[in-house]
């Protein structure tokens, strides 16, 4: 059985407290690794290593040298592509085609994209008049923020971790990463890549463990951490924000969502069914941008529900290495119990169960895995728990609507504001509705189509700040103004 250790100062090290915990496969519930749990002393060591690198060799590199190293990281990830695919499949149990075509390539791309952004972003300058007539020149420079605490989630572990580490390092910071306890493999494996391409020791550090009274809390409360970036649920974000207030440290949060999908009667019907199917059930519904509320214009409502039911009932369960499989398990037994509790609650609240609602019959070797059925409901009021609360599972509630104003009000009637997807062939309507929906990102006639240069983040309780392209620089750097009297 594999032992996964912390990665501190360029070395893999056991936790000083001697604690370990199990990582179980979501596919069959077997123990597949033991993970070293970082304590306060380990987090201290990681932060010290990050600070030393910042003040040492890493901090002395030119921008061009940094960019070259990050390109090397991306190339080495690509060279070790199969290792990262295998590690991610082990943690998540998701089909290999998702890893091969989305999550791992995007993880590698995050290093090149942000290296290019930092290399090409201009600085601002202003000439100003002075009383003596000689003038002055103001110009801005960007400097690294310092040691960044990176708290990353389990649903797309490598992609979402590198989405933070890539721009942080491109801007000249150092990082201490705390991956989810459910997905330790790829963060640990990336340490080997960093060493292989010559990233100075201490630039990239990983502390494994849990949240409260473990590595996560120790990292977010550490006074040596200059800023914290977190992707995860809203309640955890609130706790981290309280910790970050001690020292007035910056935060960047991408939090929960209860995203709406809006389908107008004039939509390309087959494309809309395919798009909503993906947005509700990709990665077994464990996508922060996923669609759990679907609003369909009444003339096509019944037809749409029937078509989505057919698609949901045709999923192919299987191990991630099974190329015929297109649907995996949830991340863990604990998360399965959460999702199943909502499945039961929907019935208790009077939902019409269109399909799913339980556990699939799996062969004996997979029977102990975290498998649940893709599930569709109709007939619930907007006050129902499964319509209001983020489930983070493969499910959606579908409701008919009769007009543009009505559906905008329905879409906005939530505490969250992360994303939405709108399906219509009326371009004017698409623009009108997109401007009125209170979310950070709207897709028109598509979903999960991401240009990494664009702003990404949530409104309301779905997050604080924006990342992506030059927007990431606002978080990962400090801008200083220099005024020169001429």
**pLDDT single digits (tens) 98-146:** 999 999 999 999 999 999 999 999 989 999 999 999 999 999 999 999 9
What backbone phi and psi angles, to 5 degrees, belong to 422? -120, 135
Catalytic residue among 37, 76, 288, 396: 288
Residues 6 or more apart whose CB falls under 8 angstroms from that of 83 comprise 189
Tens of pLDDT along 250-305? 999 999 999 999 999 999 999 999 999 999 999 999 999 999 999 999 999 999 99
177 pairs with which residues across the strands?
Answer: 150, 206
* Residue 313, both tokens: 């009932």
Q: State yes or no: is 288 an active-site residue.
A: yes
Give the global pTM.
0.96
For 324-343, what is each residue's pLDDT tens digit?
A: 999 999 999 999 999 999 99
Do residues 244 and 149 touch, judged by C-beta distance below 8 A? no
* Residue with tokens 């060591």, as numbered in its chain: 45
pLDDT of 1 above 80:
no
pLDDT at 293: 98
Q: Which of 5, 88, 254, 292 is catalytic?
A: 254
Residue 311's pLDDT is 98
Pairing relation of β-strands 174-178 and 204-206? parallel
pLDDT score for 242? 93
Strands 291-297 and 395-401: parallel
- At 442, list the tokens: 């709207």
> Predicted confidence band at 482 (pLDDT cuts at 50, 70, 90)?
very high
For the chain, the average pLDDT equals 97
pLDDT confidence tier of residue 216, bands split at 50, 70 and 90? very high
Closest by Cα among 18, 336, 37 to 210 = 37
Tens digit of pLDDT for each residue in 403-459?
A: 999 999 999 999 999 999 999 999 999 999 999 999 999 999 999 999 999 999 999
Percentage of the chain modeled with pLDDT above 70: 100
Of the chain, the percentage scoring pLDDT greater than 90 comes to 99
pLDDT in tens, 339-359: 999 999 999 999 999 999 999
Mean pLDDT over residues 460-477, rounded? 95
Please give the average per-residue pLDDT across 19-33, as a whole number: 97
Q: Compute the average pLDDT of residues 147-160.
A: 97
């Amino acid at each position: 059985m594999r032992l996964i250790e912390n990665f501190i100062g360029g070395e893999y090290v056991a936790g000083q407290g001697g604690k370990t915990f199990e990582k179980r496969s979501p596919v069959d519930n077997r123990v597949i690794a033991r993970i070293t749990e970082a304590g306060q002393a380990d987090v201290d060591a990681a932060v010290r290593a990050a600070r030393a690198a910042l003040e040492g060799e890493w901090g002395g590199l030119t921008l061009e040298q940094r960019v070259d190293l990050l390109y090397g990281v991306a190339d080495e990830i690509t060279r070790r592509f199969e290792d990262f695919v295998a590690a991610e499949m082990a943690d998540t149990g998701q089909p290999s085609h998702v890893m091969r075509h989305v999550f791992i390539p995007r993880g590698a791309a995050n290093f090149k994209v942000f290296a290019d952004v930092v290399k090409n972003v201009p600085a601002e300058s202003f000439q100003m008049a002075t009383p003596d007539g000689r003038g002055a020149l103001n110009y801005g420079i960007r400097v690294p923020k310092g040691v960044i605490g990176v708290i990353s989630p389990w649903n797309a572990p490598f992609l979402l971790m590198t989405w933070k580490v890539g721009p942080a390092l491109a801007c000249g910071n150092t990082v201490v990463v705390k991956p989810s306890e459910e997905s330790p493999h790829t963060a640990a494996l990336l340490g080997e890549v960093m060493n292989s391409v010559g990233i100075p020791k201490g630039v990239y550090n990983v502390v494994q463990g849990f949240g409260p009274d473990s590595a996560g809390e120790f990292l977010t409360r550490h006074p040596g951490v200059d800023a914290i970036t977190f992707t995860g649920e809203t309640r955890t974000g609130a706790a981290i924000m309280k910790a970050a207030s001690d020292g007035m440290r910056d935060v960047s949060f991408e939090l929960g969502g209860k995203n709406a999908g809006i389908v107008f009667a004039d939509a390309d019907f087959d494309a809309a069914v395919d798009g909503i199917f993906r947005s509700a059930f990709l990665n077994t519904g464990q996508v922060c941008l996923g669609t759990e509320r679907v609003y369909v214009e009444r003339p096509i409502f019944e037809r749409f529900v029937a078509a989505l039911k057919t698609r949901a009932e045709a999923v192919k369960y299987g191990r991630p290495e099974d190329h015929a499989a297109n649907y995996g398990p949830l991340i863990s037994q604990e998360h399965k119990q959460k999702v199943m509790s909502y499945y039961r609650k929907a019935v208790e609240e009077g939902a019409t169960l269109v399909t799913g609602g339980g556990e699939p019959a799996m062969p004996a070797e997979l029977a102990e895995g975290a498998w649940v059925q893709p599930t569709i409901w109709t007939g619930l009021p907007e006050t129902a728990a499964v319509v209001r609360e983020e489930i983070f599972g493969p499910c959606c509630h579908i409701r008919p609507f009769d007009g543009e104003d009505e559906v905008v009000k329905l879409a906005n009637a939530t505490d969250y504001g992360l994303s939405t997807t709108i399906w219509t062939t009326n371009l004017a309507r698409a623009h009108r509705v997109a401007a009125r929906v209170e979310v950070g990102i709207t897709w028109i006639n598509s979903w999960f189509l991401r240009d990494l240069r664009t702003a990404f983040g949530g409104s309301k309780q779905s997050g604080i700040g924006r990342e992506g392209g030059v927007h990431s620089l606002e978080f990962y750097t400090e801008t200083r103004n220099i005024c020169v009297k001429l």
